[in-house]
Amino acid sequence: MARGLSQRAHNKVLETATNLFAERGIDATSVDAIAHASRVSKATIYKHWADKGALCLEVMMYVHMLDDGPPERDTGDLKADLTAFLRYEPSREKAEVLKKLTPHLLAYSAKNLEFAKAWRARVMDRARTSLKMLLRRGVDRGVFSAALDEDLGVALLLGPMMYRHIFGSSVNQEWLAEGAVESFWKAHARNRWIQVRSTVPPSRRKT
């Protein structure tokens, strides 16, 4: 709980900042505007957030904490587990906010390196760590070579999903997740029978 500021008021500032950042962009939203819309004084806001960047970082954490992320699963079918991980969609509440907010976060992080570093450490690393665990499971079970570069694997699998975050619902998530896993599987699975086990249905190649 924020010291000297009621939890209700604290959450009000976060909710207001989230909505304004999503609607106007981060650079276009001033602390004055947040104070006015939230009805919490600017002086009080600065007592709890050193600057707009600090508030933006907490907004980011607030949004990403609206749900717990992809559940851990081990069905015995690694390809299905990887696909399910990439196909995961958050709660509707979080999805709607992130859809509007993510492009602004990307733009802001491109100009604010410290914010970008904190974003990677607090949010993006969570997804990277979970995906690395799945890849390591594949190595342990002999599906992938022990020489598999986990960081490169994560980049190859998460990259297409970031593409969808940028371009939104015009890109079919199910098609993209299955295609990303299929391409990765063909390139890195050790046995031919594993490589050709499944293909992306043509019907899912369109949005």
With respect to residue 40, please indicate whether it lies within any of the assigned structural domains. yes
The CATH number covering residue 57 comes to 1.10.10.60
Joined tokens for residue 123: 């949010």
Region 113-121: what's the mean pLDDT?
83
Judgement on whether residues 93 and 178 belong to the same structural domain of the protein: yes
- Among the residue ranges 31-45, 52-66, 188-202, the one predicted with the least confidence is 188-202
Compare 9 and 93 and report the one with higher pLDDT.
9
Percent of the chain scoring above 90 in pLDDT: 43
- From 183, 125, 133, select the one nearest 157 (Cα to Cα): 183
Residues 127 and 195 in one domain: yes
Which of 64, 93, 109 finishes a domain? 64
Here the CATH number for the domain that contains residue 142 is 1.10.357.10
Please report whether residue 70 resides in a domain.
Answer: no
Name the residue range of residue 55's domain: 7-64
Question: Could you tell me the pLDDT band of residue 206, with boundaries at 50, 70 and 90?
Answer: very low
- From 135, 136, 51, 123, select the one nearest 94 (Cα to Cα): 123
Residue 41 forms part of a structural domain: yes
Identify whether 160 is part of a domain. Answer: yes
Indicate whether 59 and 93 sit together in one domain: no
Q: What is the mean pLDDT of residues 16-43?
A: 94
Global pTM reads 0.61
Instruction: Please give the pLDDT value at position 168.
Output: 65
Same domain, yes or no, for 27 and 83? no
Is 69 within a domain?
no
Domain count, the chain: 2
- Residue 152 confidence (pLDDT): 95
**Same structural domain, 141 and 85:** yes
Q: How far is CA 142 from CA 148, 152, 187, in A?
A: 11, 18, 15
Cα dihedral 51, 123, 25, 107 sign: positive
Q: Which of 46-55, 144-153, 159-168, 184-193 bottoms out in mean pLDDT, i.e. has the lowest? A: 159-168
Q: Which amino acid, residue 146?
A: A
User: Is the same domain home to 105 and 177?
Assistant: yes
Q: How far is CA 139 from CA 122, 124, 132, in A?
A: 27, 23, 10
110, part of any domain: yes
Residues 29, 108, single domain; the answer is no
* Mean pLDDT value across residues 130-144: 95
Residue 113 lies in a domain: yes
Residues 57 and 82 in one domain: no
Domain check: are 199 and 97 in the same one? yes
2 lies in a domain?
A: no
Average pLDDT over residues 179-188: 95
Query: Do 88 and 53 reside in the same domain of the chain?
Result: no
Whether 124 and 27 map to the same domain: the answer is no
Inform me whether the pLDDT recorded for 193 exceeds 50: no
Q: Please tell me which residue, 188 or 88, carries the higher pLDDT value.
A: 188
Res 17: pLDDT = 95
Q: What is the pLDDT of residue 2?
A: 46
Q: Is residue 115 located within the same domain as residue 156? A: yes
